[in-house]
């Protein structure tokens, strides 16, 4: 049994494809004078038009897998994830 809050392969793929891949970067972590003014970071000056890379996608996937592992340990999600050891 699963709810709207449990991790499933279809929801994971849909989220990664729809919300992560191709998303503009939110910040670069650089704190240059041009990018970090007295009011805080200037996201446009810092980011431009760059999009998230493979490392960011991998971090999202790792976080989702950790959530699935937690749900599995708590026995609230028994759905197997393809490619994961059972």
Residues 5-62 have pLDDT tens digits of: 899 989 999 999 999 999 998 875 655 555 555 665 555 554 456 999 999 999 999 9
CA-based nearest residue to 23, from 39, 45, 47, 7: 47
pTM: 0.67
Q: Residue 86: what pLDDT?
A: 47
Burial of 77 (0-12, 13-18, 19+ CB in 10 A): buried
């Amino acid at each position: 049994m699963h709810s709207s809050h449990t991790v499933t392969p279809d929801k994971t793929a849909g989220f990664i494809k729809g919300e992560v891949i191709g998303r503009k970067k939110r910040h670069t972590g650089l704190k240059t004078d041009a990018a970090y003014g007295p009011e805080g970071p200037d996201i446009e000056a810092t980011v431009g038009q760059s999009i998230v890379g493979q490392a960011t996608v991998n971090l999202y996937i790792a976080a989702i897998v950790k959530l699935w592992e937690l749900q599995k340990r708590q026995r609230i999600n028994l759905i197997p994830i393809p490619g994961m050891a059972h």
